[in-house]
Amino acid sequence: MDKKATLTLHDGRKLEFPVLSGSIGPDVVDIRTLYGKAGVFTYDPGFLSTASCNSTITYIDGDAGVLMYRGYPIEQLAQHCNFLEVCYLLLNGELPNAKQKSEFDGIVTHHTMVHDQLSRFFNGFRRDAHPMAVLVGVVGALSAFYHDALDISDPRHRTISAFRLIAKLPTIVAMAYKYNMGQPFIYPRNDLSYTANFMRMMFAVPAEEYKVNDVLVRALDRIFILHADHEQNASTSTVRLSGSSGANPFACIAAGIACLWGPAHGGANEACLQMLEDIGDVSKIGEFIGKVKDKNSGVRLMGFGHRVYKNHDPRAKLMRETCHEVLNELGLHNDRLFKLAVALEKIALEDPYFVERKLYPNVDFYSGIVQRALGIPVSMFTCIFSLARTVGWIAQWQEMIADPEYKIGRPRQLYRGAQRREIVPLAKR
> Judged by CB under 6 A, does residue 223 bind ligand CMC?
no
39: left (phi over 0), alpha (psi -120 to 50) or beta: left
CB of 293 to ligand CMC, least distance (A): 8
Please, which contacts does 207-214 make with residues 24 or more away whose CB atoms are closer than 8 Å?
A: 213/329
Q: Report which DSSP code applies to 46.
A: G
> Judged by CB under 6 A, does residue 110 bind ligand CMC?
no
Binding mask 179-218 for ligand CMC (x = CB under 6 A): ----------------------------------------
CB of 308 to ligand CMC, least distance (A): 8
**Separation CA 188–CA 198 (nearest Å):** 8
Selecting among 229, 230, 306, 313, the annotated active-site residue is 306
Using the rule CB under 6 A, which residue among 357, 402, 403, 411 binds ligand CMC?
357
* Residues in 293-312 that interact with ligand CMC by CB under 6 A: 300-307
> Judged by CB under 6 A, does residue 230 bind ligand CMC?
yes
* Residues in 267-286 that interact with ligand CMC by CB under 6 A: 268
Near ligand CMC by CB under 6 A, which window of 16-24, 94-102, 205-213, 355-363? 355-363
> Judged by CB under 6 A, does residue 363 bind ligand CMC?
yes
**Separation CA 294–CA 398 (nearest Å):** 44
> Judged by CB under 6 A, does residue 104 bind ligand CMC?
no
Cβ closer to ligand CMC: 118 or 228?
Answer: 228
**Separation CA 361–CA 350 (nearest Å):** 12
306 labelled catalytic: yes
Given a contact cutoff of 8 angstroms between Cβ atoms, the answer to whether 51 and 28 are in contact is yes
Distance set, CA 115 to CA 34, 143, 168 (Å): 49, 12, 10
From the list 297, 305, 373, the residue with the least C-alpha distance to 335 is 373
> Judged by CB under 6 A, does residue 264 bind ligand CMC?
yes
Element (H, E) at 275: helix 268-279
**Separation CA 320–CA 223 (nearest Å):** 11
Residue 361 forms beta bridges with which residues?
Answer: 304
> Judged by CB under 6 A, does residue 265 bind ligand CMC?
yes
**Separation CA 133–CA 335 (nearest Å):** 31
Near ligand CMC by CB under 6 A, which window of 119-127, 143-151, 356-364, 373-381? 356-364
97: left (phi over 0), alpha (psi -120 to 50) or beta: beta
229 labelled catalytic: no
Using the rule CB under 6 A, which residue among 169, 364, 373, 396 binds ligand CMC?
364
* Residues in 10-49 that interact with ligand CMC by CB under 6 A: none
* Catalytic positions: 306, 364
For ligand CMC, the binding residues (CB under 6 A) are 230, 233, 264-266, 268, 292, 300-307, 357, 359, 362-364
